[in-house]
Copies of this chain bind each other. A is one copy, B any other.
Amino acid sequence: MKDMLGRQQAIAAETALKMLLDGLPVKLPRLKTLPVEEAPGRICAAEVVSIEDLPAFSRSTVDGYAVKAADTFGATETMPAYLNISKEVFMGEYPSFILKKGDASKIPTGGMLPEGADAVVMFEYVQSVDEQVIEVLRPVAPGENVIQAGEDVKKGERIIYRGQRMRPQDIGACAGIGVTEIRVYERPAVAIISTGDEIVPAGTCPDKGQVRDINSYVLAGMIAASGCEPRRRGIFRDDYGVIRSVIESSLEDSDAIILSGGTSVGTKDMIARIIDDMGSPGVLFHGVSLKPGKPMIGGIIRGIPVFGLPGHPAAVSVCFEIFIEPVLKKLTGLVEKFPWQGRTIVKARLSRNISSSQGREEHVRVMLEERADGLWAVPVLGKSGLITTLVKADGTIVIPLNINGIEQGEMVDVRLF
């Protein structure tokens, strides 16, 4: 999107994200088989269908006596039903007898109902007459206090859908039907390329004029939290050939590429040129109506999304949340039930006026303070180039494109980190 002078125009964040998502080819990640206990948090690559009933037999849900419900109809405390004590059911054992009319069979919670029984009377509604006979003081309906065979899962029922993120209970359900291995998607590999002639590795002592790499660490943490595998490729000189060559090698073994660091106009333009030169469609957008994060570049080379991030840590964090996280989620194969799931949002009142330019979506870092009169969101002052503004903040609030600002005392949604 260029203006009459051929300059890229800033577009709305929403439009930019849509261009990226629409431009990505539909392809699913590679598959991998995992023991089910190693699968929490992974994305299921093939639906799980049960080949059996769970439970396989009718079970009691209480400690009591298995009976024929009809034998208890009309029973009261003054007119109890008298039943003969038959064989006992033991936990985990098959009751190899048939319960006859007028009989009652002691059964533990979880025990298998003997053939002929269709309900269980709880101990507390039973009185012992002698060693052979009990009184039942209340009627039970057929099926009462019983989990029927197949009531949890029916044979042929799908319990996990393709694209589902496995929660602890989903793992438990697989175990329950004897599925001890499942197919999951491999985690997409995301290359992090740090650029900038002033950037040195965190482990070195910078000379005057140099600063340590921060962004590749922030990005690696966010990539992992999005269910992908970060691969820090190193720090590269702001040079066309050098950067093109590391993008080239990253395209071979990565599912997405993030460039971060070079903050100057010249470097950004060079990165945009490299992306355009390397393949169609190349750059999709360069410049977004977003603060912080305006100089963001989004593009696609040979079906692989490539992001050029502004160098300021706060911009990296905002651009990641808005553009990269949704794209990475798509790459993981995740099928989200609700697109709004993800960050925790809390309501708080804003501690001071914030102004914002119309026509720009602004993300403001805030700290939360619990005061006597409730929760307050206190904007963290400081330039977006300061990593500690992110460290001090608990989350962000968003001032939409068409709003001039928010007044002190207004209720805002704080998106927690």
Contacts and interface: CB of A to CB of B under 8 A. Distances in A.
B208 A110 contact: no
A33 interface: no
A117 to B, nearest CB: 14
Interface stretch (A75-83, A133-141, A336-344, A404-412): A336-344
B91 A147 contact: no
Contacts of A169: 218, 221, 313, 317, 387, 390-391, 417
A197 interface: yes
Most chain B beta carbons < 10 A, residue from A108, A205, A337: A108
Contacts of A173: 214, 387-388, 390-391
A344 B414 CA distance: 13
A6 interface: no
A49 to B, nearest CB: 13
Given A94-B208, A311-B110, A151 B386 contact: yes
Contacts of A222: 168
A40 B205 CA distance: 23
Interface stretch (A16-24, A56-64, A326-334): A56-64
Interface in A299-323: 311, 313, 317
A207 B340 CA distance: 44
A196 interface: yes
A241 interface: no
Interface stretch (A174-182, A248-256, A271-279, A280-288): A174-182
Contacts of A213: 175
20 contacts: A37-B220, A57-B209, A59-B385, A63-B264, A63-B266, A91-B238, A92-B197, A92-B198, A94-B207, A108-B266, A110-B311, A111-B198, A112-B209, A147-B383, A167-B417, A169-B390, A171-B221, A172-B313, A175-B213, A176-B212
